Structure 1
Amino acid sequence: MTKEVFEKYIATRIWAKNYDEGVPPEVQIKPEPLFSYLDRQAAERGSATAYVYFGNKISFKTVGDHSDRVAAALKEWGLGKGDVVALYLPNTPAFPIIYYGALKIGAVVSPMNPMYTPREVAYQAKDAGARVIFVADVLYKNVEEADKMHKFDRVVVVEVAEYMPAFIKPLAKRRLKPPKIPYGGRIVSYKSLLSHKATSYRAAVDPREDLAALMYTGGTTGVPKGAEITHGNISSNLQQLKPLYEVVKRRRGEQQLVMMGVLPWYHIYGQVTVMHYGIFDGATVVVVPRPDIEQIMKLIQKYKAHVLHGVPTLYNMIINHPKARQYKLSSLAFCISGAAPLPVEVAKKFEQLTGAVLREGYGLTETAVVTHVNPLYGKAKAGSIGLPIPSTYAAVADPDKPILLPPGQVGEIVISGPQVFKGYHNRPEENAQAFFECCGLRWFRTGDMGYMDEEGYFYIVDRKKDMIKYKGYSVFSREIEEVLYQHPCVKEAAVIGVPHPEAGEIPKAFIVLREECKGKVTPEDIIKWTEDKLAHYKRPRAVEFRDELPKSAVGKILKRELRAEELRKLQESAAKA
């Protein structure tokens, strides 16, 4: 790309002319420590409802006070700036309370997927250097096993029923059946932390440099690694998103928003757009610990929710639910879909059902989180991930060279902006591959191949990184392959994503068995063997045995040939149908 073309399409933000009215191309960003937002809400709007959990309303004052007590306990245990605290919890009010309590003493939070196995918990904890883990009571046994592989200083057990109304707690415990917890020594209850005297201590935090979170992702390759997210990264993204929310408020005449907390908070998408944004903007969040479509619709109707963030699967399940038209969902003002391509028909039917706008957006863990979104009320283009948000530069680059490409040309989507993460934790070689300098800016390579049209709308056409999108989850084939190679009968293994009408893609493993195992092991045996080693969404959904796998001249397994074979099968099947 020539300097002239860059200046026309990038430096002048050609996309800004298509923004909704009132959305500026540049936001005057003031990065702040994240805990300052909670302190502000607790002081200025303390009695306002921060969270609704099974009907129980928790105020900002309570959230602030309880996080101060958690901070006091962590500080008493000797934790401080830079120490890592792991969260292994579903969505509950305790999640943000603990998160912000850790931030107040300068600690770094590393959330974990509640579906992780003990092996996965131990891997992340060890790589992150987590000293303390907060775990839901129903998941305690997994941490008990993980603790044998990575010894924690403290294990804090959080009852999922905590913060539920008193009359629901006994029912919840009977239904969830948490194991008996051996409290004592290193094993303590979350409830006991709340008896600590609240501290007013706040660590001295440089938002641009100091980490708020270590978010684990596959990055540009397949092995999970920690993305170093600063306070400033998240703070900036919240301020970049605010003009979009303000458009909705003005259009609906709302002072404060009610948001649905459906997306999991261990994931950067739900964490930033809902959990952090709710505290930043003083919104009420209806907490949903486990997605249940009818329950979600009931809660939208009951609390007159304005905002719903989700993945395409969620919206598809709502429009296809037999009781969808029995609920009043007209309070919804806007909904955003991310993590996977949004089918045009799904968006159309959802908008017809609810009257809300449903727009596709885009972001990554490494960009904490949003970089693109389609205009809410302006020109939205089907199939596009939308326009770069305010104060964000986006471009398309040569996948192998530090060169930006002109509009219409396919390359790797790259991002530059204050929300772009610091780098991968202890991965200097991958950081060198992930970033490059061009035209006076530092660009992050997303790993997604796409193009920008003449109006500044971006489109994704393929993925550079070897990643599978299963029901909105990011599944990395290399991690599955490493587990498969541990099986005594597996000689070679390759995993690819195969298109699936409901899941988006499913992980399929192609395996060459050792000679002594042929005829003695079935595909079902392999799948079952992975059950205690991989979270359920990572497990291969199909296994095919081969005598050999396609390879290049240097012996590299050619996954593109396997993908081509599967696509041909699907096309032939469709033609016969």
Structure 2
Amino acid sequence: MSVQIFEKYIKNRVWTKNYDESVPPEVEIRPSPLFSYLDRQAGENAGRTAYIYFGNKIPYKAVGEHSDRIAAALREWGIGKGDVVALYMPNTPAFPVIYYGALKLGAVVTPMNPLYTPREVAWQAKDANARVIFVADVLYKNIEEAAKMYQFDRIVVVELVEYMPALIKPLAKRRIKPPKVAYSGRVIPYKSLLSYSPTSYRASINPSEDLAALMYTGGTTGLPKGAEITHGNISANLQQLKPLYDVVKKKRGLDSLVMMGLLPWYHIYGQVTVMHYGIFDGATVVVMPRPDIEQLMKWVQKYNVQVLHGVPTLYNMIINHPRAGQFNLKSLAFCISGAAPLPVEVARKFEQLTGALLREGYGLTETAVVTHVNPLYGKVKPGSIGLPIPSTYAAIADPAKPELLPPNQVGEIVISGPQVFKGYHNRPEENAQAFFECCGLRWFRTGDMGYMDEEGYFYVVDRKKDLIKYKGYSVFSREIEEVLYQHPCVKEAAVIGVPHPEAGEIPKAFIVLRDECKGKVRPEDIIKWTEDKLAHYKRPRAVEFREELPKSAVGKILKRELKAEELRKLQEAAQKT
């Protein structure tokens, strides 16, 4: 059966018929060391602005030269091929400078979430065997504590004001109030590395085998896992994405793009689609160290930003911002939403507000990063994550067996392509569960439940672990959330399954109301409103209003925290009886 399905739908990639004009089914992938892209831009487009940081314009020549100076310092310290360099900082031009400096030596970069505690920093550093860590000055106290649990060879402190215009540095430093740092032979200021003579040394890289990054992911069910991402994985994804960006450039008559660098670069989504792609394609990136919706809209207007990558909560915050209508956002050509399902209502209202195209895409850390996106100008199906991108195979598989399923049948989304990672770092059991062979291809199991329609459009219905079992029925939380977002009073919504003695689990909705509805709508009103929109077994059995929902640094709603709260409540109630 799997072979028949593969031959009929997957082998010939039925979805390519719906690609935008000029997007090819297959891209000639030329695996390359990532640093070769920066070398090219620093040579061919030396004077072009690579980054705009609080008004300061930094050309590609300076980015390339500074990364050569960082490489020289690291090399003097004995860092070479296969050694791991950690980055613990928000977005700043220093991030790619350091990243590419390490890559030039064949070192592997492991970025860390700036929200990590000292314990979490030490844990990842130990698991990755990081030798050097670059830390933002505002986070230095955490590294002091982490260094008591894990011994770094060297700690390099990067001031957030580095690369800002000289005029605003003193004021910015007073506002940031970084802690005092006791510099020593082991704790070194980033500035001092820029005094090294640039090195022209480049490590010999096999893009298909040599790692560029160790990205930690999947901490929802135990400890995070390090995904081994090669130069070839990222290089392939950049080449797969280029035809999509080129469609926009051609439509707008643009030679180069201006992109918003808001998504955090420690996360694979922002790192590949903005930081790496910007260098690959010679784009200008407006760098934002932290989310600030009003600042974002000001800079879109000021710098004529054309590309914005974000998550659903970002677009939701823009459409609900009281000053959204006061800014000219018409320069935006297209926006992509990823990392979480995009509610149809949010997309509709954003496009209405800005006139920009907002398309839902899909990818994972393990696929470095994009695997699907909706056509920009072709047929768009609301609620779909779109079509597999060029040179990518995608299918629906039985969650428990190495078998492919036919169209319109719900199963697990699986991916095969040059962007799929090598495997999890030192996790042989996890790797055995994550991959299977079928029809001559190696498939990666995404953990997302979904289906493919007859035209090759894919849909995510839920994470495997978010499936709600109500009286034997399978209930997908995303379907309920899509309905709730249609309610005029619902600003944000998240649905989880809560254990129930008779039903097994019941769907419970957590809702943030719009300001004008607070005190005027009751939970039972919301439940009643869903009655003619959802089958009886899909309706939320409980609704709780919140002032805000827990979110990750990327802006994803953290359902696991809501689940943990509910489980604690149940345990406490059980202890009292």
Same fold (TM over 0.5): yes
- Most deviating of 33-42 and 320-329: 320-329
1: CA distance, partners of 2:2 / 2:303: 53
Letter in 2 for 1:258: V
1: CA distance, partners of 2:296 / 2:47: 25
2: CA distance, partners of 1:5 / 1:48: 49
Q: Secondary structure at the match of 2:147?
A: helix
1:546 is matched with: 570
Offset at residue 108 of structure 1 (A) = 0.2
Q: Secondary structure at the match of 2:157?
A: strand
Structure 1 residue 54 corresponds to structure 2 residue 54:
yes
Offset at residue 352 of structure 1 (A) = 1.1
Number of residues of Structure 1 aligned to a counterpart in Structure 2: 497
1:205 is matched with: 205
Offset at residue 537 of structure 1 (A) = 6.7
2:119 is matched with: 119
1:88 is matched with: 88
Q: Deviations over 1:113-164 (max 9, x none)?
A: 1011111101110000000000000000001100111110000000000000
Task: Quickly say closer, same or farther: Cα 1:319–1:464, change in 2 above 3 A.
Answer: same
1: CA distance, partners of 2:433 / 2:216: 18
Q: Secondary structure at the match of 2:290?
A: coil
The question of whether the paired residues in 1 share the 8 Å contact of 2:2 and 2:403 is answered with no
1: CA distance, partners of 2:209 / 2:506: 37
The question of whether the paired residues in 2 share the 8 Å contact of 1:388 and 1:394 is answered with yes
Offset at residue 499 of structure 1 (A) = 4.2
Letter in 1 for 2:297: M
Letter in 1 for 2:23: V
Offset at residue 193 of structure 1 (A) = 0.3
Kindly, what percent of the aligned residue pairs are identical? 78
Task: Quickly say closer, same or farther: Cα 1:460–1:239, change in 2 above 3 A.
Answer: same
2: CA distance, partners of 1:105 / 1:497: 51
1:79 is matched with: 79
Offset at residue 540 of structure 1 (A) = 3.9
1:168-567 to structure 2, matched below 5 A, reads 168-218=168-218, 221-465=221-465, 499-502=509-512, 540=561, 542=565, 544-547=568-571
Letter in 2 for 1:263: L
Offset at residue 498 of structure 1 (A) = 6.1
The question of whether the paired residues in 2 share the 8 Å contact of 1:221 and 1:466 is answered with no
Task: Quickly say closer, same or farther: Cα 1:402–1:84, change in 2 above 3 A.
Answer: same
1:104 is matched with: 104
Letter in 1 for 2:269: Y
Mark the runs of 5 or more structure 1 residues left unpaired by the alignment.
Answer: 478-494, 504-534, 551-577
Letter in 2 for 1:500: F
Offset at residue 167 of structure 1 (A) = 1.0
Q: Secondary structure at the match of 2:248?
A: helix
The question of whether the paired residues in 1 share the 8 Å contact of 2:53 and 2:287 is answered with yes
1:573 is matched with: none
The question of whether the paired residues in 1 share the 8 Å contact of 2:215 and 2:228 is answered with yes
1: CA distance, partners of 2:109 / 2:432: 25
2: CA distance, partners of 1:427 / 1:263: 28
Offset at residue 548 of structure 1 (A) = 7.9
Offset at residue 81 of structure 1 (A) = 0.3
RMSD: 2.4
1: CA distance, partners of 2:572 / 2:138: 43
Q: Secondary structure at the match of 1:64?
A: helix
Offset at residue 221 of structure 1 (A) = 4.4
1: CA distance, partners of 2:560 / 2:120: 13
1:20-39 to structure 2, matched below 5 A, reads 20-39=20-39
The question of whether the paired residues in 2 share the 8 Å contact of 1:220 and 1:446 is answered with no
Offset at residue 5 of structure 1 (A) = 2.5
Task: Quickly say closer, same or farther: Cα 1:220–1:289, change in 2 above 3 A.
Answer: closer
Offset at residue 222 of structure 1 (A) = 3.5
Q: Deviations over 1:18-68 (max 9, x none)?
A: 000010110000010000000000000000000000000000000000000
Task: Quickly say closer, same or farther: Cα 1:256–1:547, change in 2 above 3 A.
Answer: closer
Letter in 1 for 2:348: K
The question of whether the paired residues in 2 share the 8 Å contact of 1:222 and 1:466 is answered with no
1: CA distance, partners of 2:59 / 2:571: 62
Q: Secondary structure at the match of 2:148?
A: helix
Letter in 2 for 1:403: E
1: CA distance, partners of 2:299 / 2:53: 10
Letter in 1 for 2:265: W
The question of whether the paired residues in 2 share the 8 Å contact of 1:10 and 1:394 is answered with yes
1:518 is matched with: none
Q: Secondary structure at the match of 1:459?
A: strand
1:514 is matched with: none
Q: Secondary structure at the match of 1:233?
A: helix
Letter in 2 for 1:151: Q
Letter in 2 for 1:341: P
Q: Deviations over 1:213-260 (max 9, x none)?
A: 000001794420100000000000000000000000011111100000
Q: Deviations over 1:307-344 (max 9, x none)?
A: 00000111111111111111110000000001111111
Q: Secondary structure at the match of 2:140?
A: helix
The question of whether the paired residues in 2 share the 8 Å contact of 1:220 and 1:434 is answered with no
2: CA distance, partners of 1:337 / 1:220: 22
Q: Deviations over 1:67-98 (max 9, x none)?
A: 00000000000010000000001000000000
Q: Deviations over 1:425-452 (max 9, x none)?
A: 0000100100000000000000001110
Offset at residue 4 of structure 1 (A) = 2.9
Q: Deviations over 1:156-188 (max 9, x none)?
A: 000000000001111111011000000012000
1: CA distance, partners of 2:220 / 2:200: 40
Offset at residue 539 of structure 1 (A) = 8.9
Mark the runs of 5 or more structure 2 residues left unpaired by the alignment.
Answer: 468-476, 482-493, 497-504, 514-555
Structure 1 residue 12 corresponds to structure 2 residue 3:
no
Letter in 2 for 1:278: G
Offset at residue 549 of structure 1 (A) = 9.8
Offset at residue 545 of structure 1 (A) = 3.2
2: CA distance, partners of 1:461 / 1:536: 16
Offset at residue 547 of structure 1 (A) = 4.7
